[in-house]
Amino acid sequence: MSPAQNNTIPAKAYAVFADDSPFKVFDFERRTPRVDDVVIRIHYCGICHSDIHHVYNEWKKETYPLVPGHEITGVVEQVGSSVKHFSVGDHVGVGCVVDTCLKCEPCKKHKEQHCPDVCYTYGSTELDKVTPTHGGYSNLVTVKEHFVCKIPNNLPLDAAAPLLCAGITTYSPLRQYNVGKDSRIGVVGLGGLGHMGVKLGAAMGAHVTVISTSESKRNDAIKLGAKAFLVSKDKEQMKTAANSLDLIIDTVSAPHDVNALIDLLKFEGVYCLVGAPPKPLEIGAFPLIMKRPIITGSNIGGMKETQEMLDFCGKHNIVCDIEKIQATPETIKTAYDRTVKSDVKYRFVLDMLNAFK
């Protein structure tokens, strides 16, 4: 054992210890900081729907204890000797990824999230494939500089936290498909991801249409910046809007009719899935060959793009609409129950700074 290993940092977190266990306080050690590490005092952590999938072990692959959380904001407390871009006191964020090989094709393309050796922020392991990673429902985290982002100082750390997942997930396809002032885009679903898609798309100058199963979301959609609203179950409305959109960002994770969405696309338009429906999408061959759409998906974004998104949000003063709660086992459970029912506008954010006092 090398002497350096003695310099681990005691940390606290809320963890689950089995797939039917409640959250409990978990005392553990963050790794000894390396020369390229940044130690971050966590202030806030967003609750992403995927946290809930992990905690309930819906993907049947968890190891315990499990500390969720990948929408992390906080303040730099310590930096390693080779860290170049961060200083103590900086406002920073950490998203879904904390390490990758940085050598493979996706890494070279600045899409680190697609590295075959990707180390997710929690429920994963470090590059050694052994040491478990623990997420942001915690008071501290130690992360390699490359995977830390600067949060612009004009953005509040609480409402900025979900930018690290919900924000970049919608920003990435908007940028990838060159959305700008001449674009007509559709955002399907008005939850955590969808409301960010509307804000970001509108800030890029696009004409945004929200497509939802529920008429009740119309007013909110318009307030967030949408110019139009379609009730997906209303065939007449959908028909009127046929062939009108350049890009659709589909944030819905429940099974739904994708062909009806493709009908809304212009010739050679783009449909991009960012939700994760449990059943395969059914896509008709005829629309595929006659409209030549691009059907694709997108998964968060690379580090360069995530920083670009945060800078864009800083410039346009964009954050998430959140409900901030004090983190306790009980409040987390209540937030999970409400998130499952889509009863949140639009993201719960846990106050971690005061969580373990």
Contacts with a copy of itself by CB under 8 A lie at: 105-106, 111, 114, 259, 266-267, 273-278, 280-299
Residue 6, judged by CB atoms within 10 A of its CB (0-12, 13-18, 19+), counts as exposed
Task: Give me 133's structure tokens.
Answer: 């990673």
Q: How far is the CB of 33 from a copy of itself (least distance, A)?
A: 31
Q: How far is the CB of 96 from a copy of itself (least distance, A)?
A: 12
Q: Which residue has the tokens 């952590």?
A: 45
Q: Which is nearer to a copy of itself, 111 or 144 (CB)?
A: 111
Q: How far is the CB of 253 from a copy of itself (least distance, A)?
A: 8
Among 56, 200, 42, 69, smallest CA distance to 124 is for 69
Q: Which is nearer to a copy of itself, 191 or 225 (CB)?
A: 191
What lies within 8 Å, CB to CB, of 86 at 6+ separation is 38, 76, 79, 92, 145, 148, 150
Q: Contact at 8 Å (CB) between 112 and 97?
A: yes
Dist. CA 263–CA 282, nearest whole Å: 14
Q: How far is the CB of 308 from a copy of itself (least distance, A)?
A: 18
Q: Which is nearer to a copy of itself, 132 or 287 (CB)?
A: 287
Q: Which is nearer to a copy of itself, 212 or 251 (CB)?
A: 251
Q: How far is the CB of 13 from a copy of itself (least distance, A)?
A: 27
Task: Give me 181's structure tokens.
Answer: 């002032």
Q: How far is the CB of 47 from a copy of itself (least distance, A)?
A: 20
Q: Which is nearer to a copy of itself, 1 or 289 (CB)?
A: 289
Q: Which is nearer to a copy of itself, 142 or 183 (CB)?
A: 183
Strands 91-94 and 149-150: antiparallel
Dist. CA 250–CA 219, nearest whole Å: 20
